[in-house]
Structure 1
Amino acid sequence: MLSISSSPAMRRLQLLSACLTALLIPLCFTGPAVVLSVISVELGGSAAQLSWIMNAYILSYGGAMMVSGSLTDIYGQRRIWLIGLAWFCVFTVAIPLMPSVFWIDILRMLQGLGGAAAFAAAMSSLAPLFEGRARARAFSLLGTSFGLGLSFGPWFFGWIVEAIQWQGVFYATGAIGIVGLLLVFISTPPSQGGSQGSLDWPGAISFTLALGLFTYGMLLIPERGWSDTLVLSALLASVVALLGFICIERRVAQPMIDLSFFRDPSFVGVQALAAAPAFLFIVLIVILPGRFIGIDGYGALQAGQMMIWLAAPLLIVPFVAALLTRWLTAGTLSSVGLLLVAGGLWYLAQGFESGGGQALHLPLLLIGIGIGLPWGLMDGMAVSVVSPDRVGMATGIFNTVRVSADGVAIAVISVLLATLIQQRLGVDATVFTQEAVMEAASRAALGDLQLAAQQLPGLEAQLAQSYAASFLMVLHALVVLAALTACVLFLLLRQPKRVLQTA
């Protein structure tokens, strides 16, 4: 461990502060995923409005992450960390007071801005405090904090919903944020992390527009379809903004992103690895509770208990992976992990075909073990590839890719599932309108089979059958994706560079 300007006790307290901040990120996914059906009953809202409870947070969090990393380099970790957590807490505790789903969507977007700033500062604050194996252990603990939220978040929030009300989910998350805010104020030195320079505003604006428009366009697809004018306009505008961003970054003296990073295969591999859990793990965290509650008839608490099988390995496996880097590179471990995920997804599909229940326990566990191998290594790999004065930038790039991939993955899998359901229904266009069929398919994709059936009276059995078959097809597609990604990562991360030797 390296001493910067604080005692060992303060460094440990700062690490605890970072872990609490990291814990908030999965809680912002697992909590809303558990209470979507309850919010629907109490406040109503269309399928699109309910899906934006998840999407709004993802959109703002991913769009703000890159800017947050640059602001951290300029103004210092402590200042951005405190501002981000304070902002996050204010809007989190205000969410339960909102009178409609629309206003919850707005506050979830504002909540994501604070979460991005806080997490970018938390990650970059750890890099100068630790080195070598100590850094690997620190970032493994950070990964374990994610695992804690993913493992016990659904169970904890399911208990809150059944014991209290859905509003308690957001109050509990806000309370954790307030504790983290106090710990950061106590443990983090005021002068840590600042550097000279100013934010590349043209680059920041063009990049945020490119990412925001792309994510927004993808998130609209489940409710509007690929051919919708607004969807196509958003995606086209994102391409234009991205080209403008690249031109700006090539000319400015202090770019927000050093484009030369992407010439390094290892750096590109790390970014690909950052995106992999979105499609192979986070998607399951979002869609499985809906299936368990809305399709399989589980209660919120029972669904949360099932999710523990998926996410509990993240409490242990990241530490094991950090130890294994003494003999294997992080790239090799990551590839092996994704191959295990592929096997677990195939096994999960077999479990659902055989009736679910206990047949899902081992497949979920295998997926969790597989994703746990790279989970605790990715953050250390991201900050080790660049010089210490560019850690904020590297953190911003890595987390922007990771969180933006979450939004894109959820949108892609949602539209794929809804499209497959719609195609398998084969509804007579003379009986039901296209809008009714799309709304029913979107409802079913969220796991809300009861409301989906209200759109298509008399087709309850067909909806259930279409969902079951479409869900299996999605799982098989993810099996192929996991196997291909494992092979690509093995090729990109096979060079024994410093970025791959995090221990």
Structure 2
Amino acid sequence: MPSSSRLSLPLQVLAACLTGLLIPLCFTGPAVALPALGAELHGSAAALNWVINAYILSYGSAMMVAGSLTDVLGRRRVWLAGLALFCVATLAIAHAPSVAWIAVLRFVQGLGGAAAFAAAMSSLAPLFHGAARSRVMSVLGTTFGLGLAFGPLAAGAMLALARWPAIFYATAVLGAIGMLLVWVSVPADPARGQGRLDWPGAISFSAALGLLTLGMLLAPEHGWRHGAVLLSVAASVLLFLAFGAIERRTARPMLDLSLFRQRRFVAVQVLAASPAFLFIVLIVMLPGRFIGIDNMSALAAGRLMIALAAPLLLVPMLAALLSRWVETGALCAAGLLLAAAGLAWLAQVLGHGGTAALAGPLLLIGVGIGLPWGLMDGMALSVVETERAGMATGIFNTVRVSADGVALALAGSLLAGLIGAGLAQQLPAELPVLAAASRAALGDIEQATQLLGGQEALLRASYDAAFRQLLLGLALLAVALAALVPYLLRKKEKRLTKP
């Protein structure tokens, strides 16, 4: 093999890892920068939330379309175009004059990130097989964990040394390095799809998923009975039905619906969604809880979050190694049960112990979610034929990323409902209890207290009790998933037929 070919393969893996690293950095960095953004650009709490939500909305909605585009246009072309769009949008964010402009540019940034990551994943599919593919995918999972574990600290350090645009400049530089690596290591590939992209299917699916995510994101702020929420969800259902009808009649559909008849394919999608509910919800909600309710400093909260995310640096690689001797279904179930135990443990010690008491359950949750995390990327590619890798990657990452928005919205709505139920038992009916509970669930304790005319101690107590109930509910969900995943992954026994 020529030395250039031997060098291009590790460079291509490095480019994929760098592309994957951009995803958690685009979650954690802007989240850390929100207070600085609010102070400098004077954005409201609801507007600042859309700095995070706009990226989730576009990234999740565009992922499957991006996966199909790699099959039609070629992986290298889509990868480079996606990174270019990502870098341009990220640099523009650093110069944005308002929070509203940042939200719009974050939407564009998500489109570029979706295209780049879908192309990166599908480009690795034909290069590795069997155990080698599992190892490479575990490295990708570890890279993702690196961004989650140390992204907040890196963003905080940059804020200490410079203004908030430094975070986006640094992210754009990483994207530019990724473009260079793709340019020198990924060979030009012809379009593999025959014919054009399924535009009716692409538009109906992206619009349906976008409206569903939008409705879920609006619910914690406005309530489930608000007209915008109901209209978004109803329109989403109609568009999903239209998408199904379009795909059944199209000669070359964007999504082969027959894939969902395969239990192993469904199992991968279940695994893709599980970290959103059992891990991402904690990554986003716990810092606000630690700082606003437990009165920790931002530095102490950041250190605790390392205990939750740091296991993703090692455990995915360990999972890939163990998969040689232990069935993937058993490993995934074991990880989900560990996460359930950690969630139940955290519900018991939250608010009653110091940082040392909290580090134990957070570490256990991180170890638990790290086991399926290290396996599911490789499984997403192994359950379909290589020629449909782009489609499978798009579906898998669509489920994984869109589940983040749905999980955050559902957790926020459930937390608001539990807070409101606790307050309603102790406050007069004429007070705006539901509005205050919604503000508290979004982390705006100060405004929630003003709505109630004081009552801060009662509000904090209700928040604390509701958060514990939320953690216990997530623990039960993890147990249910631990029972479901091995069943879906179980291979069907061959039926014996008489001669």
Alignment TM-score > 0.5, same fold: yes
The residue that corresponds to 1:500 in the other structure is none
Counting only pairs closer than 5 Å after superposition, residues 160-199 of structure 1 correspond to structure 2 as 160-191=158-189, 194-199=192-197
The residue that corresponds to 2:476 in the other structure is 480
Contact 1:329–1:496 under 8 Å retained in 2: no
The residue that corresponds to 1:231 in the other structure is 229
User: In structure 2, how many angstroms separate the alpha carbons of the residues matched to 1:455 and 1:172?
Assistant: 40
Cα pair distance change 1:75/1:231, threshold 3 Å: same
Q: Which amino acid aligns with 2:441?
A: A
User: In structure 2, how many angstroms separate the alpha carbons of the residues matched to 1:33 and 1:385?
Assistant: 35
Counting only pairs closer than 5 Å after superposition, residues 280-429 of structure 1 correspond to structure 2 as 280-426=278-424, 427-429=427-429
Contact 1:148–1:315 under 8 Å retained in 2: yes
Find the residue that maps to 2:225 and give its secondary structure: coil
Cα pair distance change 1:49/1:408, threshold 3 Å: same
Match of 2:263 among 262, 265, 278: 265
Bigger drift between 3-12 and 332-341 goes to 3-12
Match of 1:277 among 275, 278, 288: 275
Q: Which amino acid aligns with 1:449?
A: I
In the TM superposition, residue 103 of structure 1 has moved relative to its aligned partner by 1.7
Bigger drift between 354-363 and 475-484 goes to 354-363
Map Cα deviations across residues 42-91 of structure 1 (whole Å, 9 max, x no partner): 33333322222211111100100010000001111111011111111111
Aligned-residue CA RMSD (Å): 1.9
Cα pair distance change 1:163/1:289, threshold 3 Å: farther
In the TM superposition, residue 98 of structure 1 has moved relative to its aligned partner by 2.1
| Number of equivalences | 491
Find the residue that maps to 1:406 and give its secondary structure: helix
Q: Is 1:216–2:214 an aligned residue pair? A: yes
User: In structure 2, how many angstroms separate the alpha carbons of the residues matched to 1:306 and 1:212?
Assistant: 33
Contact 2:212–2:233 under 8 Å retained in 1: yes
User: In structure 2, how many angstroms separate the alpha carbons of the residues matched to 1:282 and 1:487?
Assistant: 21
Q: Which amino acid aligns with 2:258?
A: S
Contact 2:70–2:119 under 8 Å retained in 1: yes
Cα pair distance change 1:33/1:439, threshold 3 Å: farther
Q: Is 1:207–2:205 an aligned residue pair? A: yes
The residue that corresponds to 1:491 in the other structure is 487
Match of 2:115 among 100, 105, 117: 117
Cα pair distance change 1:120/1:440, threshold 3 Å: same
User: In structure 2, how many angstroms separate the alpha carbons of the residues matched to 1:230 and 1:264?
Assistant: 36
In the TM superposition, residue 5 of structure 1 has moved relative to its aligned partner by 12
Contact 1:156–1:304 under 8 Å retained in 2: no
Q: Is 1:45–2:43 an aligned residue pair? A: yes
Q: Which amino acid aligns with 1:94?
A: A
The residue that corresponds to 2:76 in the other structure is 78
- Segments of 5+ residues of structure 1 without an aligned counterpart are 498-503
Match of 2:127 among 126, 129, 151: 129
In the TM superposition, residue 154 of structure 1 has moved relative to its aligned partner by 1.4
In the TM superposition, residue 196 of structure 1 has moved relative to its aligned partner by 2.9
In the TM superposition, residue 6 of structure 1 has moved relative to its aligned partner by 6.7
The residue that corresponds to 1:444 in the other structure is 440
The residue that corresponds to 1:100 in the other structure is 98
In the TM superposition, residue 481 of structure 1 has moved relative to its aligned partner by 0.6
Q: Which amino acid aligns with 1:22?
A: G
Match of 2:149 among 134, 146, 151: 151
User: In structure 2, how many angstroms separate the alpha carbons of the residues matched to 1:12 and 1:88?
Assistant: 23
Find the residue that maps to 2:224 and give its secondary structure: coil
Match of 1:246 among 241, 244, 247: 244
Contact 1:291–1:446 under 8 Å retained in 2: no
Q: Which amino acid aligns with 2:443?
A: G
Q: Which amino acid aligns with 1:480?
A: L
User: In structure 1, how many angstroms separate the alpha carbons of the residues matched to 2:297 and 2:41?
Assistant: 19
Cα pair distance change 1:100/1:462, threshold 3 Å: farther
Counting only pairs closer than 5 Å after superposition, residues 454-469 of structure 1 correspond to structure 2 as 454-469=450-465
Map Cα deviations across residues 414-466 of structure 1 (whole Å, 9 max, x no partner): 11112222232234354x4x3xx555333322333234334434222122111
Q: Which amino acid aligns with 2:238?
A: V
Cα pair distance change 1:412/1:481, threshold 3 Å: same
User: In structure 2, how many angstroms separate the alpha carbons of the residues matched to 1:309 and 1:349?
Assistant: 16
Bigger drift between 336-345 and 283-292 goes to 283-292
Q: Which amino acid aligns with 2:480?
A: L
Q: Which amino acid aligns with 2:124?
A: L
User: In structure 2, how many angstroms separate the alpha carbons of the residues matched to 1:453 and 1:181?
Assistant: 48
Q: Which amino acid aligns with 1:168?
A: A
User: In structure 1, how many angstroms separate the alpha carbons of the residues matched to 2:212 and 2:2?
Assistant: 40
User: In structure 2, how many angstroms separate the alpha carbons of the residues matched to 1:131 and 1:5?
Assistant: 22
User: In structure 2, how many angstroms separate the alpha carbons of the residues matched to 1:444 and 1:304?
Assistant: 21
The residue that corresponds to 2:496 in the other structure is none
Contact 2:293–2:464 under 8 Å retained in 1: no
Contact 1:207–1:242 under 8 Å retained in 2: yes
User: In structure 1, how many angstroms separate the alpha carbons of the residues matched to 2:249 and 2:198?
Assistant: 11
Q: Is 1:471–2:478 an aligned residue pair? A: no
In the TM superposition, residue 356 of structure 1 has moved relative to its aligned partner by 4.1
Contact 2:45–2:444 under 8 Å retained in 1: no
Q: Which amino acid aligns with 1:468?
A: D
Contact 1:290–1:448 under 8 Å retained in 2: no
TM-score, L = length of structure 1: 0.94
TM-score, L = length of structure 2: 0.94
User: In structure 2, how many angstroms separate the alpha carbons of the residues matched to 1:57 and 1:439?
Assistant: 26
- Segments of 5+ residues of structure 2 without an aligned counterpart are 494-499
Q: Is 1:88–2:93 an aligned residue pair? A: no
Bigger drift between 373-382 and 191-200 goes to 191-200
Q: Which amino acid aligns with 1:266?
A: R
User: In structure 2, how many angstroms separate the alpha carbons of the residues matched to 1:254 and 1:317?
Assistant: 39
Map Cα deviations across residues 7-61 of structure 1 (whole Å, 9 max, x no partner): 1210100000000000011111111222223323333333322222211111100
Map Cα deviations across residues 465-493 of structure 1 (whole Å, 9 max, x no partner): 11111111111110111111111112111
In the TM superposition, residue 224 of structure 1 has moved relative to its aligned partner by 1.4
Q: Which amino acid aligns with 1:288?
A: L
Contact 2:220–2:441 under 8 Å retained in 1: no
User: In structure 2, how many angstroms separate the alpha carbons of the residues matched to 1:6 and 1:337?
Assistant: 40
User: In structure 2, how many angstroms separate the alpha carbons of the residues matched to 1:459 and 1:101?
Assistant: 31
User: In structure 2, how many angstroms separate the alpha carbons of the residues matched to 1:163 and 1:440?
Assistant: 36
Bigger drift between 230-239 and 350-359 goes to 350-359
User: In structure 2, how many angstroms separate the alpha carbons of the residues matched to 1:329 and 1:321?
Assistant: 10
